[in-house]
Amino acid sequence: MSYRLGIGCLAVLAIAVAGCGKSDVANQQAAPEQPAERDQVPAVASVDPNTVAATDTPEKATHAFLEALRSGDDAKATQLLSAVAREKTAAVNRGLTPAASDTAKFKVGKVEYVNEDGARVSTTWTDVDDDGQTSDDSPIWVLRRESGGWRIAGVAAEIFPGEPPLCLNFEDPEDMLKKERWARQELMRRQAAGTQIPTETGEHPETSVRR
């Protein structure tokens, strides 16, 4: 039996693999330090209203974000993240670098409002894998309303059929990296076993995104 990761871990988790975190640096040969650049934190990208599409509703913001993912527009996708997500990913030298897909299609569905400044948006994402098989995912995006409009704060996606969705908080990139590693390791473990079985620890790294 084969397994695949949903959009929540593949199309979006480029946040967790772009750039290098502390654990990655530890495994690399140390480069000579430049005193002037030591402890320097990357600047947080400001939101350009001419670059970002109208985001006055959760539906519009989600559609713009998914189109940025589909087309591989990392600058636009990053600007559509919440202010906290942009700040936190910049602080750990990570960025959103989605892989473009000419075969991907998506639809924005139902919106569930969570108080005045939060929303969950159901979507479907359809793509064709390397074997020519069509795959469907149904991630739920978590948004919050900010002064410039609605912004993406996280996503919940089913990784393994019949199991709880993996909730990814874009405002906590270190936790996201930890979950991405878990998902990939679990995928390889299940492929090696040839059957879908519970994790060895019985734990699923599910958390909720702050709203």
Q: Is the residue at 116 inside a domain?
A: yes
Q: Is the residue at 189 inside a domain?
A: yes
Q: Is the residue at 122 inside a domain?
A: yes
Task: Please name the helix (run of DSSP H) or strand (run of DSSP E) that holds residue 119, with its range, or none.
Answer: strand 118-128
DSSP 210: P
- Domain range enclosing 97: 7-19+52-193
Q: Is the residue at 156 inside a domain?
A: yes
Q: Is the residue at 127 inside a domain?
A: yes
Q: Is the residue at 95 inside a domain?
A: yes
Q: What residues contact residue 94 under an 8 Å CB cut-off, 6+ apart?
A: 15, 16, 18, 19, 21, 173
Q: Is the per-residue pLDDT at 44 higher than 90? A: no
Please tell me the total count of domains within the chain: 1
Least confident of 35-39, 98-102, 142-146, 155-159: 35-39
Residue 10 phi/psi, 5° resolution? -100, -55
The domain spanning residue 110 has which CATH number? 3.10.450.100
Cβ atoms of residues 103 and 11 within 8 Å? no
Q: Is the residue at 207 inside a domain?
A: no
Q: Is the per-residue pLDDT at 8 higher than 70? A: no
Q: pLDDT exceeding 70 applies to what percent of the chain?
A: 64
Q: Is the per-residue pLDDT at 62 higher than 80? A: yes
Q: Is the residue at 28 inside a domain?
A: no
Q: Dump pLDDT digits (tens) for 65-120.
A: 999 988 988 888 889 999 999 998 888 777 666 677 888 899 999 999 999 899 99
In this predicted structure, what is the pLDDT of residue 7? 46
CA distances from 39 to 7, 175, 176 (A): 34, 22, 23
Q: What residues contact residue 134 under an 8 Å CB cut-off, 6+ apart?
A: 126, 127, 128
Cβ atoms of residues 52 and 60 within 8 Å? no
Q: Is the per-residue pLDDT at 60 higher than 90? A: yes
Residue of higher predicted confidence among 112 and 127: 112
Q: Please state, rounded to an integer, the average pLDDT across all residues of the chain.
A: 74
The pTM of the full predicted model, rounded to 2 decimals, is: 0.73
Task: Please name the helix (run of DSSP H) or strand (run of DSSP E) that holds residue 174, with its range, or none.
Answer: helix 173-193
